Structure 1
């Protein structure tokens, strides 16, 4: 698919509508987003280094992003026209092998040394930690890391790194579900894995305003989500269904005991206005007070924005305009401005 075949006019209409009321928009900057996105489609080029040996990512969403990148119109075979450089390596690459890989880039190619790797990016589903090796440390601190949300604490550097939206395996259920949820039955819906934070969940079970669901019948789950105001999920738990919940009009509530900065599309979406971050401290009673404290007008806006934002968190086997793949690429486009250090001549 060539970049020029992507329909730009519908995008213009979409963002013009979003720009008309910025306060009701899920985007941080609707006008800037559209202009940057259009420029990205026309100009962005990524050079992919050849891996030492063929490999596949076992993580489904990482694999989908990687394969989409390789087939995308953003990929170039000419490194001299590239804005960014992708460094592919498998999940089981050891620290020593990773150090050797970066060292080879430094020695055999001219591009790494221009920015010390700041115009390079790599894909590591769980993220890489800090290392005493100079080459791995340079990769960690300078290059853009793309990981799968959520990321292990310490393996993510805010404002530099990016997370992939979770892969939602049941997106097709949304269109198949009956649209008869005009009334709200529950304040909060929680799809529980049966083990995480069990004491807190037991408190939720005892309160009739919350529905704790362990069953996995897809249509029943969709019906329960559509009749709930808020959908609860533990940060680090089962987050894959978050996109589905947002699309169905259920405002996500992330339960976490510390600030988080690795939510997907942090450069694009106003997460603070379309979701809630709450702590489990204080138990179900405190949570209920917080949720009931959201005024109807504010809740209606959050619900609309969550539904609109969900469209950018959906993965497609064949990427479509403004979907998860393109918005991750857009975040890379925003990071293309790097300082190119002048190479010092030896005297």
Structure 2
């Protein structure tokens, strides 16, 4: 999508939604876009040199790192940096990571000024709390960028960030005229094998994909379904990016509050998704109760508004080889920008 096309779309959306703040996918639409422009002009990141070539376990991690290095946010002058990036490979052991942090502590003045609070790192699975002093400081103080979902024991809300899952780059960029023939769609692996999945297979209102399919078929499944079901903590939720982009409103089945949703500092997830609670100790979710929740969201006017907001939010889930305005890379950077100067310190005086 071109910058002009995206700007026109955002202008149209904002002119429609700003008079009614409840009809926006954004937490703060009046500040997001001017803040984004300020970020582009001023935000600077210094990255330490990795001791060896980096190897990441997922494509979003690799895309983020390569995009960061090519971006105008990088500065070679650490005195101008707002944040510092600590690079290490996905397979780095705790002992090796401890040595990396010890090296930063001994060789540079920046870590000790804030004990790492103005530093960030990428770890798809997230770091656990560890007895190693250096790794513990990194975990407690620095911003962790991990993959969604991340174990709740390895994710610190309000500090850490998750990367949007990789979405199909060829997904439609706006609502289509496809008829929504199915109430819900469940992709292979999105909901674990259970009594719920068995009931869904037998219900004619739900489309259950029995196995992997080609992308065209998958796209049609999304476009012809009102809702896409995901089970947080048990099933595969990576398809949530494709769901929002195709206007298949995500239905997230969960037994606890979710604090690691992608772009949580940007999007009002309660406006673009449906969250269904369930208790593992009971009978779980029954199809009839699930359908009652979905039908309450299915009134023509209400559903179309949720779907429209969903598609708009989906524009921010796109990972590009060459970053584009407001895409996934820039939204992760924006969340880092919101965390700059967590701890303020006196800058050196220049003689």
TM-score, normalised with respect to structure 1: 0.90
| Cα deviation digits, residues 104-159 of structure 1 (max 9, x gap) | 11111111111111100000011000001221111101100000111123111110
Say whether residues 1:267 and 2:270 are aligned partners: no
CA contact (8 A) 1:148 1:165 kept: yes
Report SS of the residue matched to 1:24.
Answer: coil
Aligned length: 334
Root mean square deviation of aligned Cα: 2.4
1:239 deviates by 2.8
1:179 deviates by 5.2
1:174 deviates by 3.9
Greater Cα shift, 218-227 or 193-202: 193-202
* Pick aligned residue for 1:284 from 273, 283, 287: 287
Say whether residues 1:190 and 2:186 are aligned partners: yes
TM-score, normalised with respect to structure 2: 0.89
| Cα deviation digits, residues 156-189 of structure 1 (max 9, x gap) | 1110000000012x332547xx9551x3321111
1:55 deviates by 1.9
* Pick aligned residue for 1:329 from 324, 330, 333: 333
d(CA) in 1 for partners of 2:154 and 2:272?
A: 26
CA contact (8 A) 1:249 1:307 kept: yes
d(CA) in 2 for partners of 1:67 and 1:251?
A: 31
Shift of the 173–273 alpha-carbon distance from structure 1 to 2, 3 Å rule, reads closer
Shift of the 14–113 alpha-carbon distance from structure 1 to 2, 3 Å rule, reads farther
CA contact (8 A) 1:193 1:214 kept: no
Greater Cα shift, 254-263 or 236-245: 236-245
Report SS of the residue matched to 2:125.
Answer: coil
1:318 deviates by 0.2
1:301 deviates by 1.9
* Pick aligned residue for 1:304 from 304, 308, 321: 308
Unaligned runs of 5+ in 1: 1-5
1:295 deviates by 5.1
1:199 deviates by 2.6
Tell me the residue number matched to 2:11: 13
1:261 deviates by 0.8
Give the ranges of 4+ consecutive aligned residues of structure 1 lying more than 4 Å apart after TM superposition: none
d(CA) in 2 for partners of 1:13 and 1:20?
A: 13
| Cα deviation digits, residues 248-276 of structure 1 (max 9, x gap) | 22111112211111110000000011101
Report SS of the residue matched to 1:332.
Answer: helix
Unaligned runs of 5+ in 2: 279-283
Shift of the 284–263 alpha-carbon distance from structure 1 to 2, 3 Å rule, reads same
